[in-house]
Amino acid sequence: MVKESNRWMEASDVIPMFPSLVWKIQFEASLRDALARGILAALADMRRGLPPLEAGRGWQSGQAVHEREDFRDLVSCVRRGVTSILRFLRFLRIGDAFEITACWATVLAKGAAHKIHSHPNNFLSGVYYVCTPPGADAINFHDPRRQTAVIRPPVVELTADNTDQVVVKVRNGTLLMFPSFLEHSVDANLSEEERISVSFNAMFSSFTQQLSKPLW
Ligand SMILES: [Fe+2]
């Protein structure tokens, strides 16, 4: 007997499985401001002598800013975040054996975008947002299930269940973390101000020694 309903399919009739998780943490104002002071001073130091960024252009630091003393507080927050995710995913036994393999700052001037990409050879990646002016306060995540792009019927309403892209709004002090395989992109900065973020990758330290052994 089919139950009476205005909608044939209710949300309760759907079984979500194999979700793509993005973790979003908003730091409190005092921590956010303290981190921004340190990071912006460090970036000013790194960019000293460089010409101002032209519209449409971006700048990236080297990939080892996590080794700098002035990024120590951010690195500490990142390590706590990664540890929390490994605990959330019930990977706690190896949760204390990961390392940040790269960490770099990205500055996007007005009109600059970041094309779709992922971060291979790592387990988790993330971004900490330092300056996200209006019009430069989002990141796009793309459906990792490539098969879904083969047949794409037109939709009458875009929903979380039929979209191939999720736009996540961020603010100053937002820490986003996600699986490194999850493709993402950033639309052109619509603001007059620079969009400033710090990205990182994390990987299991003992991967070759312990995790890469065959499971069969
Ligand atoms: Fe990225």
The 10s digit of each residue's pLDDT in 125-178 is 999 999 999 999 999 999 999 999 999 999 999 999 999 999 999 999 999 999
Q: What ranges do the domains of the chain cover?
A: 23-47+56-139+169-205
- Average pLDDT of span 46-55: 96
pLDDT one-digit tens code per residue, 93-136: 654 689 999 999 999 999 999 999 999 999 999 999 999 999 99
Q: The whole model's pTM is what?
A: 0.93
Ligand 1 center from residue 181 Cα (angstroms): 10
Share of the chain above pLDDT 90, in %: 84
* CATH class, 23-47+56-139+169-205 region: mainly beta
Q: Give the mean pLDDT of the chain.
A: 93
Biggest CA–CA distance in the chain, Å, is: 75
Ligand 1 center from residue 1 Cα (angstroms): 49
Contact 197, 130 (CB under 8 A): yes
Ligand 1 center from residue 3 Cα (angstroms): 46
